[in-house]
Amino acid sequence: MLKYLSYKLLINNNDMYNILSLDGGGSWSLLQFLTLRERYGNSKGHEILGKYDLVIATSGGSLVLAALCCNWDIDKCLSLFYEKQNRTLVFSKNSFWEKYFPADFVGLFGAGPKYSVKKKYAGLKSLFSEIEAIPMEDLPDFIGKPSLKLVVTTFDALHNKAKFFKSYGKEGKPFDSVNLIQAISGSTNAPIGYFDFPARIKAQRSERNFYLWDGALGGFNNPVAAGLTEAIKLGVSKEEINIISLGTSNKITSQRERKYFYLLYINVIKYRKTKPGLGLKFFGKTVINQAKTILYEPPDWANYMTYIWRFDNNLGQALENKKRFIRLSPLLHRHSQDDNANELDHLINELYDLDMDLTNDDDIELLNQCFEKWKIGEIYNQPIRTNLDTKGDVLHDLGHKYFKEAMADWINMKI
């Protein structure tokens, strides 16, 4: 049954409207499960979702949402990334003969799309069979909280615009009814270097066909600002909103990367005609960096703009505000004054080199190490606003600097 926009709020234990926002990040979404386990132990998915009024997710975060909707306990959720056969159901490679030209040719050099959207969709149906036949609008009843609102972000490849799939609609307006598997197939569909084609799905009710890429392409790799917007559209007062935003790590350009870029830049200018190979490297580096801006700037932009909007630009109440908006995401950056510089440098450089599509056990173990260092404060938490000093060190003027501080405020929220 279609749930229309409701302006009547269900009062929670903390008398607030609670939003859970789940970033994209591919295999790095393992960090979100580990964070949820730290907060809720081995609770089941429906129990966790029942504590929130609106849950919004992108890409890897939508995989987390699906596992919770299936009512898996956290230990089973972790198997989604800990068990290699599960990882390869999502990241299922095409053979040379399954690729189209020129993807087959550039693939010989490690470039171009590697994975099959068709195989991924079959893998998602196998992984999340409990909810395969349930339309998104019926999931809140299945979860046991009819008032719950669910949102998954995607990108409409035909119209070049963001497309949200929701568990609710607006009376008298067309409604694109899909099941969560269809929405996830689109939301996790990173282009160019990852999946081969847009995810094609057909919505019920509206009978519309969609061709979808990853929700990050619309600027929603961190969907927290969209989550706040949806709540306000539902008639919720900003003063009644609590926000938990779970990320999948944020990268500040390392000293190694900054030095490499600077030297390459200087040498390309100096030898632009005599050493064309340098120009090719610089061009390739520039293209890759620009393609990945959807992962870098939008997460930071979304946090800060959400903060300003939620608290009406009242920066003077920073200590009180961070008890209402909690951002938890490891910051892959070493401060110049850290005592354990060599150990952290090695780990952070290894993490910095990892891509989103991790299928090897050694890479997953690096994510475990990342979480443990983050949890004990050796890797800092991402601030709400990222400013750098002249040494390239991050200034934590808004938000929580340490995981434990953020977790303590989350517990005090009684969510």
pLDDT tens readout for residues 215-242: 999 999 999 999 999 999 999 999 999 9
Rg from Cα positions in the chain: 21
Nearest to 147 by CA among 174, 167, 177, 117: 167
Domain CATH for 98: 3.40.1090.10
* Active-site position among 176, 214, 357, 363: 214
All residues at 6 or more sequence positions from 315 whose CB lies less than 8 Å from its CB, including other chains: 398
* Active-site position among 21, 29, 59, 187: 59
State whether residue 189 is helix, strand or coil.
Answer: coil
Question: Each residue of 120-175: pLDDT tens digit?
Answer: 999 999 999 999 999 999 999 999 999 999 999 999 999 999 999 999 987 767 78
Is 170 in the same domain as 262? Answer: no
Is 399 in the same domain as 362? Answer: yes
Range 139-171 burial, b when 16+ CB lie within 10 A, else e: bbebbebeebbbbbbbbbbeeeebbbbbbbbee
Domain stop point among 240, 263, 298: 298
Is 303 in the same domain as 275? Answer: no
Is 265 in the same domain as 214? Answer: no
pLDDT band with cut points at 50, 70 and 90 for residue 318: low
- pLDDT of residue 8 exceeding 60: no
Is 213 in the same domain as 316? Answer: yes
State the Cα angle at 283 between 281 and 286, rounded to 5°: 105
Is 154 in the same domain as 167? Answer: yes
State the Cα angle at 298 between 319 and 331, rounded to 5°: 55
Catalytic site residue 214?
yes
Is 141 in the same domain as 45? Answer: yes
Residue 258, domain extent: 253-298
**What does the pLDDT read at residue 260?**
73
Q: How far apart are CA 65 and CA 259, in angstroms?
A: 39
Q: How far apart are CA 80 and CA 57, in angstroms?
A: 17
Is 263 in the same domain as 400? Answer: no
Domain stop point among 298, 333, 367: 298
Is 162 in the same domain as 232? Answer: yes
Query: What are the distances in angstroms from CA 239 to CA 109, 230, 384, 398, 414?
Result: 53, 15, 19, 19, 17
Is 387 in the same domain as 263? Answer: no
Total domain count for the chain?
2
Catalytic site residue 21?
no
Question: Each residue of 60-103: pLDDT tens digit?
Answer: 999 999 999 999 999 999 999 999 999 999 998 887 777 767 76
Is 114 in the same domain as 9? Answer: yes
Is 228 in the same domain as 293? Answer: no
Instruction: Please indicate, yes or no, whether the overall pTM of this predicted structure exceeds 0.85.
Output: yes
